[in-house]
Structure 1
């Protein structure tokens, strides 16, 4: 019989200090096996192909960033890894399990070992901060209310918001809401945490706090993290590896130092926020002079 605390890791502390009390999770794969592995993954919405042969892996303990322009397929990758979508071709494996081969119950069991921080937090607006963080614990465990209470307070303490447990989402700043969403994402001590634009809309202080929390919580929990983001400078300070996606393909990859030093035109344009390059400033059109003279299509 599984211990009622199996898989619950209690994390407490500040950005500079984390204290853990751990009941070990069962290890199903060797430590050197990638936790997430995508091989030749293709995906399309109807006739519109989004991903065209993606190869990507995330090792245990890594924080990995997926970057690229809007609409290139980054969030679709998160949905494939989370099992919300099924690849048209290729394989998506998480913890050694091929998602396409899992039954509904097995997929749901695997997803309970994943955490997700949605863009802008996506808190339940009619619930308090406490109840937002308690939601996955109440939904997926049979822990007694006293233990749920203590775990929620410890998770909120880990993100610096234990004193805000009675507030509603409407009373939170953008940065506070993102930290509450992060506490909710780690409530079940997931093996994999996914972030969809975690820095969007944040002021510089909040952005720095969220970045450091992502790194420190990943290390404290012994988890792996995948982060879809446009924020180059903050991301390169905290991640271990970066994948660049363009037109549904991985066009560049490397460590932060390799990305900073890259001479690849696409990477250089993206990292330095240049207006023109492989991604052109102008949408394809006839020459301006010809259009002004009434030649060609309007």
Structure 2
């Protein structure tokens, strides 16, 4: 598969350059390089355990690369001080798996939280901003409800309103479609695309849902074996002949990704003679 034309450096919001990272003796990312263009929706996909969420954590500065550079807006995240990290994170929004709303705060208070935490805006202005963000996700009327009173799909939309409360440059989504019914899933996918375009933000979506993610993404990156197995437009990735990419897109049981995690043989564990 041919590579995408390399965008100009100032057109990139995020770059990973030759990044290596692992947990203990297990290497998850091995000299990984990828880029996220400004104003686009980039899908980060691949089998479970392939390092997708790790990439998000490296971008947000929760982890620091053991080798290589993670650049956000041209700045090296690994070289930032704590104060610089906090300043950078104010330009980011994060939608966690299953929303991660504060269960003891109302819908309104959940969305207002980052505004009160990171700004000195007057309450009247915070109220207007919160209602505008809730309106953008179709939930202005649910402002007084508690998280336990709304559905999983609605909770995900509240979490999205909270993620965009500070008008971030970058929004990262960690499995935004997990556990949603087909209607809520489709609503969430369209909302990600619409908000990305309307607000001029950059989106990175980690997802296993091939159909909906390919439908909204400008660029798809599939991670495997610590690196990039495929990248390009959704149509280019669909046309890949790589066996691992074909297995992932086709949801096949048999292929390079095995069911059993590597370990001792059954004979070794159970003492069975071959």
Q: TM-score range by the shorter chain?
A: over 0.9
Q: Are residues 1:117 and 2:89 paired?
A: no
Deviation of 1:249 after TM superposition, in Å, equals 1.5
Task: Write the deviation string for residues 137-194 of structure 1: whole angstroms up to 9, x where unpaired.
Answer: 1111111100100110000000000000000000010100000000000000100000
Alignment TM-score, normalising by the size of structure 2:
0.92
The alignment status of 1:84 with 2:62, answered yes or no, reads: yes
**135, 139, 146: which one pairs with 1:168?**
146
Residue of structure 1 equivalent to 2:5: none
Structure 2 distance, partners of 1:171, 1:293, is 53
Q: Does 1:47 align with 2:44?
A: no
Structure 2 residue aligned with 1:274? 252
More helix by share: 2
Q: Per-residue CA shift, 1:265-295, capped at 9, x if unaligned?
A: 111110110110111345667699xx99942
CA distance in 2, matches of 1:293, 1:101: 51
Deviation sequence 1:172-231 (CA, Å, 0-9, x none): 101000000000000001000000000000000000000011011011111101111000
Quote the residue 1:214 is aligned against.
192
Q: Distance in 2 between the 1:154 and 1:31 partners?
A: 34
Q: Secondary structure at the match of 1:137?
A: helix
The answer on 1:178 being equivalent to 2:156 is yes
Give the unaligned 5+ runs of structure 1: 1-29
Cα separation, 2, equivalents of 1:100 and 1:275: 38
Q: 1:282 to 1:134 in 2, by over 3 A?
A: closer
Query: Is 1:188 the equivalent of 2:166?
Result: yes
- Aligned counterpart in structure 1 of residue 177 of structure 2, from 175, 196, 199: 199
Q: Which residue of 1 aligns with 2:49?
A: 71
Kindly indicate whether the alpha-carbon contact (under 8 Å) linking 2:69 and 2:78 is maintained by their aligned counterparts in 1: yes
Tell me the equivalent position of 1:131. Answer: 109
| Secondary structure of 1:49's aligned partner | strand
Partner of 2:217: 239
Aligned Cα RMSD in Å? 2.1
For the Cα contact (< 8 Å) 2:266–2:272, is it kept in 1?
A: no
Q: 1:35 aligns to what SS in structure 2? A: strand
- Match for residue 107 of structure 1? 85
d(CA) in 2 for partners of 1:286, 1:60: 47
Q: Does 1:58 align with 2:36?
A: yes
| Residue pair 2:230, 2:240 contacting (<8 A) in 1 also | no
Q: 1:31–1:60: 8 Å Cα contact kept in structure 2?
A: no
In 2, Cα distance between equivalents of 1:35 and 1:179: 25
- Matched with 1:24 is none
TM-score for both structures, normalised by structure 1: 0.85
Shift in Å at residue 243 of structure 1?
0.9
Contact 1:66 1:227 survives alignment (8 Å): yes
Counterpart CA distance in 1 for 2:25 and 2:271 is 37
Is 1:248–2:226 an aligned residue pair? Answer: yes
